[in-house]
Structure formats: C-alpha cells, structure tokens
Amino acid sequence: MKALVQDLQLKGLQRRMNKIQTPVAAVVVMACNRADYLERTIKSILKYQNAVASKFPLFVSQDGSDPQVRKKALSYDQLTHMQHLDSKLVQTERPGELIAYYKIAHDMEIAPDFFDYFEAAAALMEKDKTIMAVSSWNDNGQKQFVHDPEILYRSDFFPGLGWMLTKPTWNELSPKWPKAYWDDWLRLQENHKGRQFIRPEVCRTYNFGEHGSSLGQFFRQYLEPIKLNDVQVDWKSKDLSYLMEDKYIKLFAEILKNAKPINGADAVLKASNVQGDVRVHYEDQPDFERIARQFGVFQEWKDGVPRTAYKGVVVFRYPPPRRVFLVGPKSFELLGIKSV
C-alpha cells in the first residue's frame, strides 16, 4: 500500500513538473494534523500564486495519516499532495531544474509581494554563494519595531518560519535532515559553515497558529503582533547588490559608526530622546538579555547567536523610523571598525 501511495504521488508530481516552463522555486507547505490551518494557508498562497504558478509550483507535504488533512489537500487541483506515512522523505527524480526550494508551515499567511520577493532573492543567491538561505521572517518584526518594507538585512541567525534554499544546498543538507520539521532552524543553524541568511525588516509571512508550528511559545508577545507586509513592493526594479557580502559589511559598518552611542541605565528613555539612529553596547549574553528586555525585543540566543544578529549586532526600530543597534563586544572587530 505504501509503495502504491508513493507511486501515485510521484506520477502526479511528474505531471505537474512537466507543465513548468520557467521554475524559480517549489513552494512546499508542511502539514500534519490541522486541516483548518492548512486550508487557510493554501487560500492565502493561491490568492497571489495563480499569476505566477508556473514559476512557483505548489506542493503539500503531509506527515502522518490524518484523513482530513489529506482530504483538504486533495480538494485543490492547483497543487500536488505528497504523504509521508513513515516520516521519511519521499525520494523523487524531478524533471527539469528548480533553482530553489521554498518551505512554509501550514499555519502561515503570505504578503502580496511574497513571490516577487523570493524571485528577486533567488537571483541574489545565485550570485552570492555565501548566502545559505533567504527568509520571509523577522523575529523582531512586531509592528512597533519595523518601518521600511523595502529594507533587507544579512543575518548570522537562521530566521525560520518561511525560507528558501538553493537546490545544491538542499542536496547538501537533506541526508541529515531531522524527522521533526520544526527543527529546521537547528539543522540550518548548525550547518551554515560561515554562510549567512537574508531576512526582511517587514515580514512576508505571518504565523497565525497559536498551537501550530510555534507550539504556543511566546505567541502572544512575539508572534501575534508581527506586522505582515501589505505594500506591493516592485522587487524587479530594486538593486539588491548592496546585500552582496563584500558590499554589505562595509555599508553596515558605516551605518553603525554613524549611530549615536548611549550608555548606562535607562537605554529606552535615552534612545527615545535622541534624533537619528543609536547604538547600545552589551558585554555578554546576560547583559544583552537585560537590554533586550527593556526594549521588548527577543532575548533568546541559539548556538551563541542572538536572534536576527549580524556580527553580534541586533537592529530594530524604536520608535520607528529610528534604528537601535545592540552591539556585541566583538562586533566592531568583526566589522572592521577600528575607531569611531
């Protein structure tokens, strides 16, 4: 039975792939046991995907045997359903070359410029091999901390919650991929080997599932207030070359040097009374957590890196449009800043 199910899935997948003329990335929705969440996610994707369906073919990858999830996925002709009854990846030989692979959980909604954003990002990844993945997510993307929907950042921390890999990177990582798909961030964070990630200031996905992939952790404080971009950015006209590694480190260092330093207690009050960007230096992880707690941004670190950090620097708006930079003890050295 298992072989028959997989055979039928692969035939359906092959028919869909044969129709693709100019693929950019496969959009894979990971589903398990929430048919209602899956329906909301699919409707959000199809709202903007129809016009670019040949570039972004849609797949639902179901872990487990929930009959309602399977029924819901099969009710849509616009996608291919794959079911993994033993939690192992289905090995497929896909005709044609996909430049990238985009992954989204089954409790996400997408922004109107979602596909244009990832198409532009795919071209950037092809040029800069130091980029491991591109994300649609900003952990500090709450309404009170963002301002500009056109700004993108490099990061040493894998953002998760909606991301895109190139096919060679997926081939590199897939043999050691975890069975639990919510451990994606850990697998990428552990294996990035000095490569970095691209993230937006304003999120292109919104996590609506309090009991979905977030498992309720920090939902009300950090996930519910996330700002989902509602501006149709013309990414095709944007020059993203500033994100290339050699250019970005110099640009970021210059912006950081020009930010006004503030010291001592009451960082929030002092930052609010300064015109322009500010920087606050932290000494170690406990000091970072203390300062982050004052502002209300994520305090958590993973693998020795603060969420969203680039060279130990975490940037957010407070209040918008002012940028606040939380600067680590080695950040200036890593950025090549010798004097300020």
Tell me how far apart the alpha carbons of residues 265 and 245 are, in angstroms, rounded to a whole number: 35
Q: What phi-psi label fits residue 87: left (phi over 0), alpha (psi between -120 and 50 degrees) or beta?
A: left
Distance CA 266, CA 216 (A): 31
Q: Which two tokens stand for residue 217?
A: 């952790």
> And the tokens for 279?
């920087």
Residue 40 contacts by C-beta under 8 Å, 6 or more apart in sequence?
A: 107, 109, 208
What's the sign of the alpha-carbon dihedral 44, 171, 200, 33?
positive
- Who's near 156: CB < 8 A, 6+ residues apart? 192, 196, 197, 305, 309, 310, 311
Choose among 145, 74, 61, 161: nearest CA to 111: 161
Is 230 assigned a catalytic role?
no
Answer yes or no: are the C-beta atoms of 23 and 57 closer than 8 Å.
Answer: yes
Cα–chain center distance at 3: 34
- Catalytic position from the list 36, 183, 230, 234: 183
User: Which tokens belong to 4?
Assistant: 């028959």
Q: Strand, helix or coil at 176?
A: helix
Q: What is the distance between the alpha carbons of residues 138 and 160, in angstroms, rounded to a whole number?
A: 9
HEC string of 128-148 equals CCCEEEEECCCCCCEHHHCCC
Residues with a catalytic annotation lie at 183
